[in-house]
Amino acid sequence: MSVSPAAPPGSLPINRLGEPLLRRLSGVLDRAAPGRGWRDLAQRAGSHGRVKLSSLELEQCSLKVLEPEGSPSWSLLRLLGERGCTVLELMEFLQALEHTEALQYLSPPGIKIVVQPDPKSVLSGQTVKLCCWATGHPFLHYQWFKEEKEVPHGNSPELIFNPVSVNDSGFYICRVNSDSSFVFSRWAQLDVCDLQGVSYDFQEQSADRPSAIDKVALLIGNMSYWNHPQLKAPMVDVYELTNLLRQLDFKVVSLLDLTESEMRNAVDEFLLLLDKGVYGLLYYAGHGYENYGNSFMVPIDAPNPYRSANCLCVQNILKLMQEKETGLNVFLLDMCRKRNEYDDTILILDALKVTANIVFGYATCQGAEAFEIQHSGLANGIFMKFLKERMLEDKKITVLLDEVAEDMGKCHLTKGKQALEIRSSLSEKRALTDPIQQTGSSAESLARNLQWAKAHELPESMYLDFKCGVQIQLGFAAEFSNVLIIYTRIVKKPPEILVCKAYVTDFPLDLDIDPKEANKGTPEETGSYLVSKDLPKHCLYTRLSSLQKLKEHLIFTVCLHYEYPGIDDSLDERKEVNVGKPLIAKLGIHHGFEENCCMSNRPFHTQASTPVAAEYYLSPNHCQPNSYPGVHHPNSAHSDHFRQPEACHCNVTLNVLTSRQEVWTCSSHIRKNNIPVETTDDTVDLGFSFSSSLRLSKKQ
């Protein structure tokens, strides 16, 4: 039956939906897991007086299973339609049941939500923003609801509380409408804690307080170096800083283990997010060095020894950020700043603009090293250990970093070895907590949001039905912008099947997945330590890292292995799944960079270094990795107590300062939060403590 385009979609009665759609919807409800079936739908509908069903009517629905091709859900939907239940009400019932599969049948293909609202846990007095961005129709209308009530003036993609109060706590959902269709977002819980008893000293909002047009951050953590000692801390540091920045309303892109071309292209994508008045923050953790006043970040594929041609110059990135007329440029560099004696290149850089908006926070002083702390198998950098404790304080960024420097100075483990250095041209009282200026959605703002959303789009959870009657749920979560977690579980199994197992396989060769680390019973076994408590239980987990290397769609196979009693041979079924390009893969940063961007006065030059002979690594004056006497290897024994620094030809090396080539072990101290979806925004301390088992190691 055709419906006038002008008719409000939510007012359409259920019984006016087409029969094919009702049949498909009934089938989904008939085979739904407990808690999401037709009886649960009836109970939810019963809370509304005019659609309440009697016990006799529910019994009649139940008896439909005795009829050929009978469907209790079909009968229930007809009864609800006769009582005047609308499509909107039905969608609200299904949303409350979290029945995403059924909702997909009612959600028109023309609208797709690309950024779902994230749960947030914040302090009162802060500025908080819930975001819901959709694509698919040139004219979309947004309406926010707090539980069942419309939010006044909540008719934009961003629902902003400035400042937020305890009364704003609750569950929020956004409905996206076009002229003829609509779709709901996920529910997002906003938990607001009272400021009373909290030690943070927030400044009062004033009319002359600086504000940002937007806030964006690029976080890069390099650990798995090909030719240099591997690190541990960057993964934990990037993860925790991501959670903190998101609480400050930053759009964060977090990436692990990038090659030279991937780092350069990631910076290119980051620059697209910048605009006049935007706050830009770049954090890097990994190997690095400093020559002639220029800082260089070392990609994971850098040769040994490396030179400036193989690395990214931070000062060149700053110049490009300034060209965007950003309101604040913050660089947090958690790397060593030793001189690289194998790089005599003196870069001739274009002069930087004279601006009062630049802040450098170096994890260590010029000519010194930066260290990381290893505890319970996981690592924190010294810089991040102290920075995270003050990151949410509402203070001028330079004041905040000064206090972090004071905290670091009290750490007896690194006293005299590592001290925070701050360089700043900041003349205004700008802070990372500054509010985002609320203006109309400009073309630049929309483009920036869509660009960021592309890098954080996850595949939707799906259910796969196999011929034998088994149903498998396939779910997805993100640990970083380039790390995807796939979890599988069997949600329906016919009683006649004795043994039933499901696993994923046949991943693209670009991702280089080790089958031995896939389909594990716990996330920790796959190498995913940070979001393990946020994932559904009783699943098999597979961790896909380096999504930036994915050139085509992510296509893999779901295999089902099952057995019947009395039959010796086992049976197998396979289904191919295509989930497109998830997360950062959509941006295609694996592509090579152009030669015309590689001049010496740009950050993208590609002159290659000649590899050195193997014996060159043993040079006593060599300051590159692999030249450390007494370097700690995974199988070597180490003392459980601290020892004094031992002399090294090129660096201060402790056996408390061991190399970072040890195997990861599981820690039970890690909690939330996930980056784009499916988890909350609670930030967590790693349970850090200075103990006799704690070790330090350095970023070369």
CATH of the domain at 623: 3.40.50.1460
pLDDT of 292 strictly over 60? yes
* 32 and 119 assigned to the same domain: no
Provide the pLDDT for residue 633. 29
- With respect to residue 444, please indicate whether it lies within any of the assigned structural domains: no
Provide the pLDDT for residue 640. 33
Provide the pLDDT for residue 13. 75
Instruction: Indicate the SS3 state at residue 127.
Output: coil
For the beta sheet containing 358-362, the strands, ordered from the edge strand earlier in sequence to the opposite edge, are 251-256, 215-221, 279-285, 328-334, 358-362, 421-424
pLDDT of 503 strictly over 70? yes
CATH of the domain at 174: 2.60.40.10
- With respect to residue 447, please indicate whether it lies within any of the assigned structural domains: no
Provide the pLDDT for residue 109. 61
Does the annotation count 623 as an active-site position?
no
CATH of the domain at 92: 1.10.533.10
* 378 and 470 assigned to the same domain: no
* 260 and 386 assigned to the same domain: yes
pLDDT of 284 strictly over 90? yes
Does the annotation count 336 as an active-site position?
yes
DSSP output for 179-214: SS-EEE---EEEEEE-STT----PPPP-TTS--BS-
Residue 339 has which token pair? Answer: 């001189």
* 534 and 681 assigned to the same domain: no
Of 172, 198, 224, the last residue of a domain is 198
pLDDT of 606 strictly over 60? no
Count of domains for the chain? 4
| Percentage of the chain modeled with pLDDT above 90 | 34
Of 105, 120, 135, the last residue of a domain is 105
Q: Please compute the mean of the pLDDT values over residues 314-325 and round it to a whole number.
A: 91
- With respect to residue 204, please indicate whether it lies within any of the assigned structural domains: no
pLDDT of 677 strictly over 90? no
- With respect to residue 443, please indicate whether it lies within any of the assigned structural domains: no
* 70 and 170 assigned to the same domain: no
Instruction: Indicate the SS3 state at residue 295.
Output: strand
From 137-146, 328-337, 582-591, 621-630, the region with the lowest mean pLDDT: 621-630
Output the average pLDDT for the chain.
Answer: 77
* 688 and 598 assigned to the same domain: yes
Reduced 3-state DSSP string for 629-649: CCCCCCCCCCCCCCCCCECCC
Helix residue ranges, H only, 455-487 = none
- With respect to residue 203, please indicate whether it lies within any of the assigned structural domains: no
pLDDT digits (tens, 9 = 90+) for 115-172: 888 888 788 888 888 999 887 766 788 999 998 889 998 998 999 998 899 999 999 9
Determine which one of 85, 336, 539, 623 is catalytic. 336
* CB count in 10 Å sphere of residue 94: 25
Highest mean pLDDT among 23-32, 161-170, 343-352: 161-170
* 148 and 17 assigned to the same domain: no
DSSP 430: -
Range of the domain at 337: 215-438+594-699
| Percentage of the chain modeled with pLDDT above 70 | 77
- With respect to residue 210, please indicate whether it lies within any of the assigned structural domains: no
Q: Please compute the mean of the pLDDT values over residues 367-382 and round it to a whole number.
A: 72
Contact 674, 477 (CB under 8 A): yes
CATH of the domain at 511: 2.60.40.3360
* 415 and 495 assigned to the same domain: no
Provide the pLDDT for residue 543. 94
Confidence label for 661 from pLDDT (cuts 50, 70 and 90): very low
pLDDT digits (tens, 9 = 90+) for 620-646: 222 333 332 222 223 333 333 333 332
Q: Please compute the mean of the pLDDT values over residues 176-186 and round it to a whole number.
A: 80
* 609 and 558 assigned to the same domain: no
- With respect to residue 19, please indicate whether it lies within any of the assigned structural domains: yes
Q: Please compute the mean of the pLDDT values over residues 601-619 and round it to a whole number.
A: 31
Rounded distance between C-alpha atoms, residue 128 and residue 536, angstroms: 28
Provide the pLDDT for residue 107. 65
* 46 and 72 assigned to the same domain: yes
- With respect to residue 523, please indicate whether it lies within any of the assigned structural domains: yes
Provide the pLDDT for residue 194. 72
pLDDT digits (tens, 9 = 90+) for 389-434: 999 999 999 999 999 999 988 888 777 788 889 999 998 999 999 9
Does the global pTM surpass 0.75? no
Confidence label for 596 from pLDDT (cuts 50, 70 and 90): very low
Q: Please compute the mean of the pLDDT values over residues 269-280 and round it to a whole number.
A: 91
- Spatial neighbors of 431 by CB under 8 A, at least 6 apart, are 203, 210, 394, 395, 396, 397, 400
* 161 and 101 assigned to the same domain: no
Determine which one of 99, 228, 287, 456 is catalytic. 287
Of 49, 74, 105, the last residue of a domain is 105
| Phi–psi pair at 263, nearest 5 degrees | -65, -45
Confidence label for 96 from pLDDT (cuts 50, 70 and 90): confident
* 290 and 192 assigned to the same domain: no
pLDDT digits (tens, 9 = 90+) for 196-250: 544 444 444 455 789 999 999 999 999 999 999 988 889 999 999 999 999 999 9
